[in-house]
Amino acid sequence: MRARTYDVAVIGAGPAGAVFAKEYAAAEKEKRILLIDGQTEERPKVCGGLLSPAAQKVLAKMDLTLPKSILSDPQIFDVRTVDLPKHLIRHYQRHYLNMNRYAFDRWLLSLVPPTVDIFKGHCCSVTRGQNGFLLQIRTNGVMQTFHASAVVGADGASSLVRGIFFSHMPLRYIAIQQHFNPHRTDTVPPYSCIFDPVTSESCSWTICKDGEVIFGGAFPKKNCKASFEHQRARVEEILGISLGTPTKTEACLVCGPRRPSDLVLGGDSVYLAGEAAGFISASSFEGISGAVLSGRLLARAFSNGKTPDAVLHLYRKYTRALRLRIIGKFFKRAVLFSAPLRYLIMKSGLLSIKKFDI
């Protein structure tokens, strides 16, 4: 059977891939676009599901408003920040939207025009040929072949596209989350950010969502499960809370960019967007804003660039501010994850809020 042919194949239908397909299809209606969607409700993206102010701003600039059905209870006005070894707690005002991440991704996907072919399946291989690329996609145990003139890798931290075509990969962690029974929500604040260098070089979190408590964190690959369990025990002991028995455990890779070379945009008709490109915060692992924005900017570069090199040049130009913002997070991480500096900042109470006495 002859492979179906497209102008561009987008691997990954999360925020970066969906927004790219939406924007490019709207601007170039004659282009043939394939969007490969490998996410399922049974295996959604592992994410705390908080929409940051930066992500809200990007959506506002695109004139997008969230449906009520996406939002989760409760809504969050502050983050309780915990330095676990120092037993130091501060509250900082934050304007996150608490939401269902899978529903958010499906909503963005629903905005993609019907001219885009959305194909459910898992991309197993991408190979370069004389006239473009061949993609092998497995769906329901059946392998199918597609041909595309260009490829967009919007397939996250475990990006197949980046692994095949670009040698450099950023530092990656294992993000682990567990969900706990509803009756535990009265003992846990709506949102906590936890620093515990004893068990992880990154931050962890607790989030209350629709009657559940989610506890999660990012850990180095080696002994990640043991580190997670150790940290959970320390959190329960030091903070005096009991999470109980988890109802669900989930895990995935997450990028931890540390230097400018970790940000890879593409080359030779292969382009990267979202976390696959390294557009994720090194300090908080917030990646939705970078995914949506890079997807939109790459679509703009595709529309305005007449050749693959021109597309890459424009994409580099358009993402300059985004790349500088991500690089700025490298320095923020260096401060927040330095135990002495973090202690001084939290001890001073700088920018923190005080709760009213009851």
pTM of the model: 0.95
- Per residue in 320-355, pLDDT (tens digit) is 999 999 999 999 999 999 999 999 999 999 999 988
Across 282-294, average pLDDT: 97
Cβ pair 17, 152 in contact under 8 A: yes
DSSP E strands, the chain: 4-11, 33-37, 50-51, 78-83, 88-93, 97-98, 117-120, 122-129, 132-139, 142-153, 172-180, 191-195, 203-209, 212-219, 246-255, 266-267, 270-272
Domain residue ranges in the chain: 4-53+101-169+259-333, 69-100+172-256+338-348
Q: What is the mean pLDDT of the chain?
A: 94
pLDDT of residue 2: 54
pLDDT of residue 60: 97
Instruction: Report the candidate in 7, 20, 96 with the shortest Cα–Cα distance to residue 52.
Output: 96
- Per residue in 213-260, pLDDT (tens digit) is 999 999 999 999 999 999 999 999 998 888 999 999 999 999 999 999
CATH number of the structural domain 69-100+172-256+338-348: 3.30.9
Residue 9 banded pLDDT, cuts 50, 70, 90: very high
Q: In the chain, pLDDT over 70 holds for what percent of residues?
A: 97
d(CA 150, CA 308): 8
Angle CA(106)–CA(16)–CA(315) in degrees, nearest 5?
Answer: 160
Three-state DSSP class for residue 104: helix
**35 CB burial (10 A radius; 0-12, 13-18, 19+):** buried
State the CATH class of domain 4-53+101-169+259-333.
alpha beta
Least confident of 45-54, 58-67, 299-308: 45-54
For residue 119, pLDDT over 70 is answered with yes
Q: In the chain, pLDDT over 90 holds for what percent of residues?
A: 88
- Per residue in 128-186, pLDDT (tens digit) is 988 899 999 999 889 999 999 999 999 999 999 999 999 899 999 999 999 998 655 56
Residue 43 banded pLDDT, cuts 50, 70, 90: confident
Three-state DSSP class for residue 98: strand
